[in-house]
Chain A
Amino acid sequence: MFRPLLALLRRDLTLALRRPQDALTVVGFFVVVVALFPLGIGPDPEFLRSLAPGVLWVAALLAVMLSLERLFSDDYRDGTLEQMLLVPEPLGLLVLTKIFAHWLITGLPLVLISPLLAVQLNLRPDEIVMLMLALLLGTPILSLIGAIGAALTLGLRGGGVLIALLILPLYAPPLILGAGAVDAVMHGASAQAHLSLLGAMMVFALFATPWATAAAVRIMLD
């Protein structure tokens, strides 16, 4: 039962290790976008601090979205995605495995690098911990929802831009909750509610989105 999923996970991680630049580009994008914000709005530490939760979350969200285009497109181009439809295993589980691998390669590094950027924007230690926690819960949601968009734009011209239009409105809830959690800590309030809702959203996305993504893959390969 799990052998095929493990084989797929290992394959995707091996491929990512052989081409580490793909994952590093995403992290690089995240770092550069955050670095550009102070240039646009001024260096005042207190002001930057108050904007930090939103800036970090929007940057992370854009980074995830940029990386999504490659989630299925390589497999689509060389025909391995087609072969995956013929694997005697529910396509939803295969898709979920691919999303998990993708999150390990792109989402997790964003979580790990975020404290560095948070320090640049003058967040305090407890806020940084909350930021990492919120990103840890939130980036999988971004990958799970985004996978639907990645599947729906397979083989289309200008797929990358189209993904943005399809997916970004759906990113509003995790953005609100994730940035809100950090904001709450900043204002001395409890972020319990934010985290609970983010967690609930992740569980829901975990169960619901892989099937939508699988349906989309089948349609686009029909």
Chain B
Amino acid sequence: MSERGIQWFRFTAPANFYDLAGRLIPWFAALTIALFAAGLYLGLVVAPPDYQQGDSYRIIYIHVPTAWMGMFLYVLMAIYAAIGLIWRIKMAEVMAKAIAPTGALFTFLALWTGALWGRPTWGVYWVWDARLTSMLLLLFLYLGYMALHAAIDDRQRASNASAVLAMVGVVNVPIIYFSVHWWNTLHQGASITVTDAPTMAMIMFVTLMIMVLAAWMYSIAVVLARARVELLERERNARWVQERLEGGKT
């Protein structure tokens, strides 16, 4: 009885996920476009310029959501990886792997926009600000995770090994953050920080939240799409994959 239950789980859960994700992705994609359009319009046209930084502050509408997503996705990835490792749930392994590139992309964008913002604010592209430095180390953690995953041929072993790395990383992220912060205050006295936004007007706050939501919707859509492809690869010998590919329904 229990054996049949396991068989059922093994063979139909990925299929269900595959179909459901396929139906959801267009909706999340549409939401992404709508929210980005609204956010960019509000941020670039409606919101007033900052009284200190002028128009250059507007990059926070990209910078802050990307930085938040970069950090949050790492934690989410580690959680999925841990679930996959401990309970041996394949879907969680697939999700962890699918999240990594999107998280790395957001982290990279946060660094990029931070550098662009630094130029008009401090006259240099890069300052060793605590948050930028932490984000840089976070990007390295993502790259390490992806490199390890790619270096191991056996899928199961790759998932397990990189799950250990993700869990070690997520324990270290706060330690890294605090030590970098401490280092920064020691070396620079009163620290300059990138995201200490000036007191925000309501419209700025609303715009920021819309952009954060847009980043969320984008992440969901892209991660689901990547997870579907990964599932097809992993389960290419399973009957449900054959059925769907023959039916031309991808």
Direct A–B touching in the complex (beta carbon < 8 Å)?
yes
Q: Which residues of A pack against B, CB within 8 Å?
A: 148, 152-153, 156-158, 162, 165-166, 168-170, 172-173, 176-177, 180, 197, 201, 208-209, 212, 215-216, 219-220, 222
Q: Which residues of B pack against A, CB within 8 Å?
A: 137-138, 140-141, 143-144, 147-148, 151-152, 156-157, 160-161, 164-165, 167-169, 171-172, 175-176, 179-180, 182-183, 186
Residues of B within 8 Å of A173, CB to CB, are 172, 175-176, 179
Residues of A within 8 Å of B167, CB to CB, are 212
Q: Known: A157-B151, A165-B147, A212-B167. Contact between A170 and B172, CB under 8 A?
A: yes
Q: Are A169 and B151 in contact (CB under 8 A)?
A: no
22 pairs across A/B with beta carbons < 8 Å? A148-B164, A152-B161, A152-B165, A158-B151, A162-B151, A165-B140, A165-B147, A166-B147, A166-B148, A169-B137, A169-B141, A169-B172, A170-B168, A170-B169, A170-B172, A170-B176, A172-B137, A173-B179, A197-B179, A212-B168, A219-B157, A220-B157
Q: Known: A212-B164, A219-B160. Contact between A172 and B144, CB under 8 A?
A: no
Q: Are A152 and B164 in contact (CB under 8 A)?
A: yes
B contacts with A: majority SS = helix
A180 to B184, CA, bound (A): 11
Shortest CB distance A143–B (Å): 15
Residues of A within 8 Å of B143, CB to CB, are 165
Q: Are A156 and B157 in contact (CB under 8 A)?
A: no
Q: Are A215 and B164 in contact (CB under 8 A)?
A: yes
Shortest CB distance A211–B (Å): 10
Partner of B152, one of A156, A166, A170: A156
Partner of A169, one of B156, B171, B176, B186: B176
A215 to B85, CA, bound (A): 10
Q: Known: A170-B168, A219-B161, A220-B161. Contact between A156 and B151, CB under 8 A?
A: yes
Residues of A within 8 Å of B175, CB to CB, are 173, 201
Q: Known: A166-B144, A169-B144, A219-B157. Contact between A176 and B182, CB under 8 A?
A: yes
A172 to B140, CA, bound (A): 11
Residue ID in chain A nearest B143 by CB atoms? A165
Q: Are A172 and B176 in contact (CB under 8 A)?
A: yes
Q: A152-B164, A169-B169, A209-B168 are in contact. List 14 more A-B contacts (CB 8 A).
A: A152-B148, A162-B147, A162-B148, A165-B144, A166-B144, A166-B147, A166-B165, A169-B137, A170-B168, A173-B172, A201-B175, A212-B164, A212-B167, A222-B156
Shortest CB distance A157–B (Å): 7
10 A-B pairs closest in CB distance = A173-B179, A169-B140, A166-B144, A219-B160, A176-B183, A169-B137, A176-B179, A165-B144, A156-B151, A216-B164
Residue ID in chain B nearest A187 by CB atoms? B186
Residues of A within 8 Å of B183, CB to CB, are 176, 180
Residue ID in chain B nearest A173 by CB atoms? B179
Shortest CB distance B23–A (Å): 35
Shortest CB distance B107–A (Å): 12
Residues of A within 8 Å of B179, CB to CB, are 172-173, 176-177, 197
Shortest CB distance A189–B (Å): 9
Shortest CB distance B132–A (Å): 13
Residues of A within 8 Å of B169, CB to CB, are 169-170
Shortest CB distance B97–A (Å): 15
Q: Are B164 and A219 in contact (CB under 8 A)?
A: yes
A216 to B148, CA, bound (A): 12
Q: Are B151 and A168 in contact (CB under 8 A)?
A: no
Residues of B within 8 Å of A158, CB to CB, are 151
Residues of B within 8 Å of A180, CB to CB, are 183, 186
Shortest CB distance B155–A (Å): 12
Shortest CB distance B143–A (Å): 6
Residues of B within 8 Å of A172, CB to CB, are 137, 176, 179-180
Q: Are A168 and B140 in contact (CB under 8 A)?
A: yes
Q: Known: A165-B144, A169-B140. Contact between A216 and B161, CB under 8 A?
A: yes
Shortest CB distance B229–A (Å): 24
Residue ID in chain A nearest B152 by CB atoms? A156
Residues of B within 8 Å of A152, CB to CB, are 148, 161, 164-165
A162 to B77, CA, bound (A): 20
A157 to B147, CA, bound (A): 12
